[in-house]
Amino acid sequence: MKMIFPIITITVGLLAASTVAQAKGFKAEYCNNIQFLTNEGVNGPSTYPHLHCENRYLGYSRNKNKGSTYDLIDGNGDLNDGNAIKACEDAAAKGKDNLRTRIRQICDQFQNATCSATCS
């Protein structure tokens, strides 16, 4: 019985830490709290390409044309590895190494080896 209380306390602490990390959101975790993160690391909604960062969504906007955004992380928090690979290839082709590195970090966090290798 003496062991149950410390185990419950540790479990509750870990759950609380996990909830705080999720509440932080993708915008804070991957984009330095910048909504439209450019290769230069600044907010640039009209600079392409850029990462479109929200708390529960992350996309890669290739250009200003409608339909040119790759959804990287959807509202459920799931990585679309195919889109992440396409975004990495696009960033590499355009010489946007900081964006490519940021996308690789996202792939690494989701432990997606194929995506990470493409972005390296």
Q: Which of 70, 48, 75 shows the shortest CA–CA distance to 59?
A: 70
Share of the chain above pLDDT 70, in %: 81
pLDDT, position 75: 86
Whether 1 is in a domain gets the answer: no
Mean pLDDT of 54-83: 93
pLDDT surpasses 50 at 105: yes
| Mean predicted lDDT score pLDDT of the chain | 84
Q: pTM for the full model? A: 0.79
Range of the domain at 64: 20-119
Whether 115 is in a domain gets the answer: yes
Total domains present in the chain:
1
User: Which residue is associated with the tokens 């690391």?
Assistant: 41
SS (H, E, C) 20-51: HHHHHHHHHHHHCCCCEEECCCCECCCCCCEE
Whether 34 is in a domain gets the answer: yes
Whether 35 is in a domain gets the answer: yes
Whether 11 is in a domain gets the answer: no
Q: Are 27 and 50 in contact (CB under 8 A)?
A: no
Gap between the Cα atoms of 22 and 42, Å rounded = 24
pLDDT, position 120: 87
Q: What is the pLDDT of residues 14-64, one digit of tens each?
A: 443 333 334 579 999 999 999 999 999 999 999 999 999 999 999 999 999
Whether 72 is in a domain gets the answer: yes
Q: Are 43 and 35 in contact (CB under 8 A)?
A: yes
Whether 13 is in a domain gets the answer: no
Whether 57 is in a domain gets the answer: yes
